[in-house]
């Protein structure tokens, strides 16, 4: 390994350590949940009420307070973010043999949710400025391959309908939603936002997840707030929200004792126990986001003088939740990336590269795609570093 490779790796590990100050041999995780509010009270209250499962007051309360926080009409909570995304896709009409445009650089859940509907992901490239879907490149790609017929959009190369477009706000940084919404409208392709990573992120003052017809959130243990496992569907369309509620609760028709169901549906609702945790976490969220923001500022200052990489800042006009703080290396030299991950982890600082792009995974290798040069490059240059709010000293 060259001495400059080792030097940068050591410098990165030292710089992270100067911000997060690891104590002795304790490992600094990437993102840890924090339960410093009324979590215990609410969870115990749910247990005492015996309403721990499919119905209960905390579910209703969490849905209302979440919709308020996100500035949308309705929120419907689910067992996890992947399930939320699955339902969003079904509700905009995605089905068997359709195609759905998603970024190749995303967590596998985005692609899997598409596959659950029987549709095929169609991979779009990302851009360096937002780490998300590049609207300019997508516009040129659609001009090349798409055509409109009978109010829908079709891929002329595969003959399949393009039934959805799903931008994802990578590590909490909002994509260029204005341009993507224009594309969605121009080509009659409904937009669903994968906002799993962007609770607390805003695009021109408006919360992410509320721009598409529907948006999906995740409350997995490593996200900005957690319900243990959980997710939510956001929408400004009350009729769609009612459908979401129905289809996530086995399509049971309301009746005091009868079990009647009017379609094949899903058991995707969030249990009351998890919602109790969610209500408490949401109370803590603004304060937690403020601390995460401060931590990101510290990292930005600390890395300002380090050559060979930059700290990823929120895109212009946006407020990011800085879910995972991220470094972007100048070089896509694999040895450099490995050396930095080695040095950081050897210093008990958890850090990890971006996901392998979806088109490189065996199950999605044959999916349609555009040129993915930027996504491929980014995947070799991105490093996530510790981001828990409690790391702020």
Q: How many CB atoms lie within 10 A of CB 281?
A: 25
- Quick one: 15 or 110, whose CB is closer to ligand PLP? 110
Instruction: Report, in Å, the least distance between residue 220 CB and ligand PLP.
Output: 4
Instruction: Report, in Å, the least distance between residue 183 CB and ligand PLP.
Output: 20
Q: Report which DSSP code applies to 307.
A: T
Q: Is residue 283 classed exposed, middle or buried when 0-12, 13-18 and 19+ CB atoms within 10 A define those classes?
A: middle
Instruction: Report, in Å, the least distance between residue 277 CB and ligand PLP.
Output: 14
Instruction: Report, in Å, the least distance between residue 352 CB and ligand PLP.
Output: 13
Between the alpha carbon of residue 199 and those of residues 46, 339, 344, the distances in Å are: 25, 32, 28
Q: How many CB atoms lie within 10 A of CB 274?
A: 26
- Quick one: 153 or 354, whose CB is closer to ligand PLP? 354
Q: Report which DSSP code applies to 161.
A: B
- Quick one: 343 or 357, whose CB is closer to ligand PLP? 357
Instruction: Report, in Å, the least distance between residue 221 CB and ligand PLP.
Output: 9
State whether residue 215 is helix, strand or coil.
strand
- Quick one: 220 or 235, whose CB is closer to ligand PLP? 220
- Quick one: 85 or 341, whose CB is closer to ligand PLP? 85
Instruction: Report, in Å, the least distance between residue 1 CB and ligand PLP.
Output: 32
Instruction: Report, in Å, the least distance between residue 226 CB and ligand PLP.
Output: 9
Q: Report which DSSP code applies to 261.
A: B
Distance CA 202, CA 361 (A): 31
**Dihedral sign for Cα atoms in the order 318, 221, 191, 384:** positive
Q: Report which DSSP code applies to 358.
A: G
- Quick one: 13 or 378, whose CB is closer to ligand PLP? 378
Q: Is residue 264 classed exposed, middle or buried when 0-12, 13-18 and 19+ CB atoms within 10 A define those classes?
A: exposed
Instruction: Report, in Å, the least distance between residue 388 CB and ligand PLP.
Output: 16
Beta pairing, strands 99-103 & 120-124: parallel
Where are any strands of DSSP class E within the chain?
74-78, 99-103, 120-124, 146-149, 152-155, 162-165, 192-194, 202-203, 206-207, 214-218, 231-235, 309-311, 318-319, 325-329, 352-353, 382-385
* Exposure b/e, 25-40, CB count within 10 A at least 16 = b: eeebebbbbbeebbbe
Instruction: Report, in Å, the least distance between residue 80 CB and ligand PLP.
Output: 4
- Residues in contact with ligand PLP by CB under 6 A are 80-82, 85, 106-107, 109-110, 168, 194, 196-197, 218, 220, 231
Find the radius of gyration of the CA atoms of the chain: 21
Distance CA 174, CA 165 (A): 15
- Quick one: 19 or 215, whose CB is closer to ligand PLP? 215
Q: Report which DSSP code applies to 355.
A: P
Instruction: Report, in Å, the least distance between residue 29 CB and ligand PLP.
Output: 16
- Quick one: 167 or 190, whose CB is closer to ligand PLP? 167
Residue closest to ligand PLP (Cβ) = 81
- Quick one: 343 or 372, whose CB is closer to ligand PLP? 372
- Quick one: 112 or 250, whose CB is closer to ligand PLP? 112
Place of tokens 């803590």: 284
């Amino acid at each position: 390994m060259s001495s400059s490779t080792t030097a940068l790796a050591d410098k990165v590990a030292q710089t992270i350590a100067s911000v997060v100050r690891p104590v002795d041999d304790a490992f600094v995780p990437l993102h840890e949940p924090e339960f410093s509010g009324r979590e215990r009270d609410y969870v115990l209250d749910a247990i005492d009420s015996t309403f721990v499962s499919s119905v209960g007051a905390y579910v209703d309360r969490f849905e209302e307070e979440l919709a308020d926080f996100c500035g949308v009409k309705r929120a419907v909570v689910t067992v996890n973010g992947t399930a939320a995304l699955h339902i969003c896709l079904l509700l905009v009409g995605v089905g068997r043999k359709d195609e759905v445009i998603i970024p190749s650089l995303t967590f596998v859940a985005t692609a899997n949710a598409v596959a659950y509907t029987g549709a095929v992901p169609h991979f779009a490239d990302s851009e360096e400025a937002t780490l998300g879907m590049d609207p300019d490149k997508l516009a040129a790609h659609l001009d090349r391959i798409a055509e409109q017929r009978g109010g829908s959009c079709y891929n002329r190369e595969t003959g399949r309908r393009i039934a959805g477009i799903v931008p994802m706000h990578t590590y909490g940084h909002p994509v260029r939603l204005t341009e993507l919404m224009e594309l969605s409208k121009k080509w009659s392709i409904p937009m669903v936002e994968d906002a799993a990573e962007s609770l607390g992120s805003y695009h021109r003052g408006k919360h992410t997840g509320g721009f598409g017809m529907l948006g999906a959130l995740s409350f997995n243990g490593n996200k900005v707030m957690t319900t243990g496992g959980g997710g939510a569907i956001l929408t400004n369309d009350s009729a769609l929200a009612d459908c979401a509620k129905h289809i996530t609760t086995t399509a049971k028709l309301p009746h005091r004792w009868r079990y009647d169901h009017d379609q094949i549906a899903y058991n995707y609702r969030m249990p009351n126990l998890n919602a109790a945790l969610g209500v408490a976490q949401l109370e803590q969220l603004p304060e937690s986001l403020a601390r995460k923001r401060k931590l990101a500022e510290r990292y930005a200052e600390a890395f300002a003088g380090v050559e060979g990489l930059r700290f990823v800042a929120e895109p212009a006009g946006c407020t990011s939740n800085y879910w995972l703080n991220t470094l972007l290396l100048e070089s896509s030299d694999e040895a450099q990336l490995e050396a930095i991950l080695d040095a950081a982890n050897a210093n008990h600082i958890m850090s990890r590269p971006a996901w392998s792009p979806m088109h490189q995974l065996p199950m999605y290798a044959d999916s349609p795609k555009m040129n993915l040069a930027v996504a491929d490059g980014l995947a070799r240059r991105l490093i996530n570093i510790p981001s828990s709010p409690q790391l702020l000293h």
